[in-house]
Amino acid sequence: MLQIEPKSRVREDRAPKAPLETMQDREEVGQEVASDLTLGGLGTFLSAGSKGVNLLAANLGLTAVIPVRVVTDPEGQKLRLKADDAKTLADAGGVVAFLLGERDERDRYYLPVDKFLAKATLRDGRYVLDFNEKWLLPYLGHPGVKKAFARLLKK
């Protein structure tokens, strides 16, 4: 009688790594933001060709796009953006998606980069802005998507 033994499971630390040429959203922040944008009436696309951009938001006719940079901060006390990323986004009229707090309880703010840069200060190669809930409230969650991406949502 032939006996078949089950294949042993590969331990996570020994599992094959994705090749360097494979794009990954390791923390799934791109998916989290894309979900908000899609529910807000936008098309979303992974950005594979531009540094400092995680995804592209598009109108449903696919005739206009806005680059989006996702920045996470588990402590949620300061909004930070690398100067190089700020320049890339500013040149293209982009939006920064700030995900503040721990993964399951974080707030998402969608801030046009020009609004962010108008209030932020440059420190050690990063633009930094202290968290101010009153000023940021219009950019929180789905209302923030509608405000930050209004030019794509016009009919």
According to the model, what pLDDT value does residue 151 have? 93
Q: Is 12 domain-assigned?
A: no
Report if residue 136 sits inside a domain: yes
Q: Please count the helices (runs of H) and the strands (runs of E) in the chain.
A: 6, 8
Residue 94 is part of a domain; what is its CATH number?
Answer: 3.40.1350.10
Any domain includes 20: no
Instruction: Give the range of the structural domain holding residue 147, as residue numbers without chain letter.
Output: 27-153
Q: What does the alpha-carbon distance between residue 141 and residue 110 come to, in Å, rounded to a whole number?
A: 7
CB 153 within 8 A of CB 39: no
| Domain total in the chain | 1
For residue 115, what are the contacts with CB-CB under 8 A and spacing of at least 6? 139
Residue 14 is assigned to a structural domain of this protein: no
Q: Which residues contact 101 (CB under 8 A, 6 or more apart)?
A: 73, 74, 76, 107
Q: Is residue 64 part of a domain?
A: yes
Check whether 27 has a pLDDT greater than 80: no
pLDDT tens column, 98-147: 999 988 888 999 999 999 999 999 999 999 999 888 999 999 999 999 99
Nearest to 97 by CA among 130, 73, 69, 119: 69
Cα–Cα distance measured from residue 44 to residue 60, given in angstroms and rounded to the nearest whole number: 9
Residue 63 domain-assigned (yes or no): yes
CA angle 148, 43, 31 (to 5 degrees): 85
pTM of the model: 0.79
> What is the per-residue pLDDT for 29?
78
